[in-house]
A and B are shown apart, each in its own frame.
Chain A
């Protein structure tokens, strides 16, 4: 018995000693990966305040000279008519597509969550497919099809296209929220005299609202970041922010797009925090 205990203790000590080194290596490796994930996004922020039209830190910036830093690129995008029109287009297309996707997606999720739904797996597969189809294929197909209908180079065409690409996000998030919904609540409401619409409006919707809103945010973010469909189907009149950035990156590279990028990062963080907050609310 005594010998047994001794051996166990020795093994434990050696493994802990081994752990120490490996644990440091493991943590160091993870730190590098986190840096890889986040540093490229952070580096854009200071560079957008560059006083010079360069994409890198000037010596003045490193010495923290006040002159080397400026708001000129922010001023430029604020005053530029093309950027403000792009923002208006992005908002119009994004909001309309989101409303459409959220309403249709929520209804479909209600149906898909019902075990009685016929061909449930197949229907889910079809409805999620816009999310996994390579966007170049969607864009090419939509270009042919929408051109025939006279919807290419119109706002309506882009709204419909973006709504189609955004619906899977709504279906997924709302279905996930509905998985935690207690069907007895609907039954209870119905037993006390509420019609199906009232049950949905007064009982079910308030409870699944966090999922619906999250889905809407996902759909909006997808539209707000979509460039390939706009590239193929949109004309000059339909240029959105990502489309404008695309030309910015390809043609006349200027730090003005870094200033836009900072705005988009701020948007992304706001979306992220809202969705996480809703998720936590829903979990409670």
Chain B
């Protein structure tokens, strides 16, 4: 693990830098701490940071950039004739990489020595057999251009790794020298260290922005790729979802509308379950309940929120579904064909959302000023009249915000619908029929063996893009409503 050792070397140099920087500063002050500008440890940290940061930064950038460079050089070596019908340069490159890795491991295992692997030729040695015998995974027979490319790939990779190691260690040494030379009694080490630390803090805070940028870019690039292979107009207007299983496009019809319908239908059922229960629970807890009841019931309800969604998924599949089936199935009312249905997923999701709605509404109801209630009581209203005519209207924007947040949760929920809602995309009004959702289809399109370049796999990114925009819009709207409402009483 050379990267691991490289990091260890850099850290060791940093430790050396700490000790050298500190002692050099002390010596320059003649051993008298009071003559130093900063505390001695700051001189040490200054040197250590100057070793670590540039060296590790270089290491990360190199590790990310090198595969691209090597790939682009080696893939130019592959002649056009080598790329067979129905294949692509990328697939051949994958074969090249596999061959190179295979050569690496047989050389490491000592089956043949390193020089021999460089001089292997397909016409003199059966390389495919050699690799397969050594337990390596190679799919097809290796041809001479592939082998040559693999050998070149290995050489470039090895020399790249070597140069990287040298460069990183050189950077670390230069940093060490720089930091230690600076250590003089009138050098403002504390200011420098604090500036660097502050820069690191800003970098950490920016990771949130980077994550968003990463999400947006990975969605946009792949969605763009998808729309080049599949017309966007069809995606948004077709009433049919029927991906072909060949993974080569053509016969697939990929319309988002049935998926959106399933998503909205299931979310609607979930909200019909969660909103009344959650809202009345919140009203009771904040207006009626004694402290003892509140102290017991509130954490119990919130326990529902702490349970992972996979548990709800299994609950939907194995408990709710069969339960509904006994009532509405062929033995009962005959409305339901299988355990997986809109109702199954919707009810389970509703249970999951109860604590979400109730704790958000609880906060909002509690933030309605007591003086408004007192005014209403003073006019002779009963408690329920006060709640219905004073508290709830005052809290309404906040509650709408909470419901929107719950809706965004329901739309983005995955495990419950994957296990409970079924796999067939349908446009139907019957809530006892199996339907599917955007999230469930993202999972099913990306977990198969299909290759990532086919429209059947890329459609998942387009679905993800729409899901992201939808939930983001709901969240922003909800936050806007909640924030606007809060200002009225402060």
Partners in one complex: no
